[in-house]
Amino acid sequence: MFALVDCNNFYASCERVFNPALNGKPVVVLSNNDGCVIARSNEAKALGIPMGAPSFEYEILFVKYKVNVFSSNYALYGDMSTRVMNILSTYSPDIEIYSIDEAFLKLEGFEQHYNLEVYSKEIIQNVTRSTGIPISIGIAPTKSLAKVANKIAKKFSLRTGGTYVIDSEDKIKKGLLWTKIGDVWGIGRQHEKRLQKIKVHNAWEFTQLPNQWVQKEMSIVGLRLKRDLSGERILDLEDAAIKKNIAVTRSFEKMYSSFEDIRERVATYAGKAAEKLRRQNSCCSMIYVFLHTNGFREDLPQYRANIAVHIPNPTNSSIELIKAAITGLEKIFKKGFQYKKAGIMVMNLTPASQRQLSLFTAENPKHQTLMKTIDRLNIRENQKVKFAGQDLDRTWKMKQEKLSKRYTSCLNEVIIINCSDSFGDRTF
């Protein structure tokens, strides 16, 4: 059996942990630059605020219904996620951390020794008590069915207590009939449309389609999904510890048109990507650069471009990557446009230990030590060391007007409790 554990409204729940006055009230969390709604509490969902809603369009509604609005605080969410995952990993030797707020647990053979419903209730209790984050658990014979079970657990939480087990043919069929085709894990907008057209409206009807049709229209991925949903164990846990691509992309807080401004941004993104590479001990041999204008401003001339720059010797040196990224940018940058977004992606990653030593190595061997030193300094001194391509004076500031504190990862921002007792006033 597989369990899918999912944190309910994760970012919104993180904000509540350190601010319990928010319980029972609508809470939303915004994306970078305070652009879109990316998390909503149940109360906010009930107000009809959709996922991805541009925040400026909902400002009036926020005020009217006293919605508590937060900028995203990834330092907090990342740390809370680690805490939750650490607890979950004590409940099974096999865990796949699927995203910041979801994990699959393999419970192979557990059903012979435990009542799985009781077991999952215990997990829920422990996570809630230890972190304050509410979770839902779905258990089933396959991963995609565990997803279905999880949805049922969450939808009927009053009745299920946050957990639901699919453990019979009958329950599989009931669950699949209940699941709308567009809500199936792995069925997105395009497939949904195509399936609706041939009168497939729920997951059960999908599992009744001929394999041939599914493979032809939805490739091998769709066929695997169909079989997994039917109860055949096709999808297994995956370990995704080492990333295959790393991206750093940002929208600007306003539009920029000068090459120097964009170059500074791109250099910073490339430097960030290099740091991430070094953190997972990888090198890359390709960097992809893109930039584009504001697609929402149909009144302005539009331009978008991208380029892949090959790097002869795999590297994770910030200096080399910044150089390569700027080479690419010079080729695609065009004057006369107002740019709103740029980004880079490093690809073709290889383990740093397997680095090819070439006769004509382009990279200065001293970079290795230099980068290590910079990384150490930046951890200690809060990102003070920069590269010449980055403007030292400019303070690029993301719009983050409603940021909560880094309660769990910054000593200056932990919660302070003042109280007095017979020994006098004390602060904790």
Positions touching DNA (CB under 7 A) are 31-33, 35-36, 38, 52, 54, 56, 98-99, 101-102, 147, 184-192, 219-221, 238, 240, 243-251, 254-255, 276, 294, 296-297, 308, 340-341, 343, 345
- Whichever of 100 and 370 has its CB closer to DNA, that residue is 100
**For DNA, which is the closer residue by CB, 155 or 426?**
155
Q: Which of 36, 25, 29 is nearest to 11 (CA)?
A: 29
The span from the CA of 218 to the CA of 184, in Å, is 14
Task: Kindly tell me which of 60 and 416 has the beta carbon lying closer to DNA.
Answer: 60
* Closer residue to DNA, CB minimum distance, 244 or 366: 244
Minimum distance from CB of 221 to DNA (Å)?
Answer: 5
- Report the residue number, 119 or 139, with the smaller CB distance to DNA: 139
Q: How far is the CB of 112 from DNA (least distance, A)?
A: 30
The minimum distance between CB 243 and DNA, in angstroms, equals 4
Q: Tell me whether residue 119 or residue 349 sits nearer to DNA (CB atom).
A: 349
Min. distance of Cβ 378 from DNA in angstroms?
17
> Which residue, chain included where needed, has tokens 């949805």?
151
CB of 124 to DNA, least distance (A): 18
Contact 149, 139 (CB under 8 A): yes
Q: Which is nearer to DNA, 11 or 119 (CB)?
A: 11
Instruction: Tell the smallest beta-carbon distance from residue 428 to DNA (Å).
Output: 35
How far apart are CB 168 and DNA at their closest, in Å? 24
The contacts of residue 357 (CB under 8 Å, 6+ apart) are none
Whole-number Å distance between alpha carbons of 71 and 33: 8
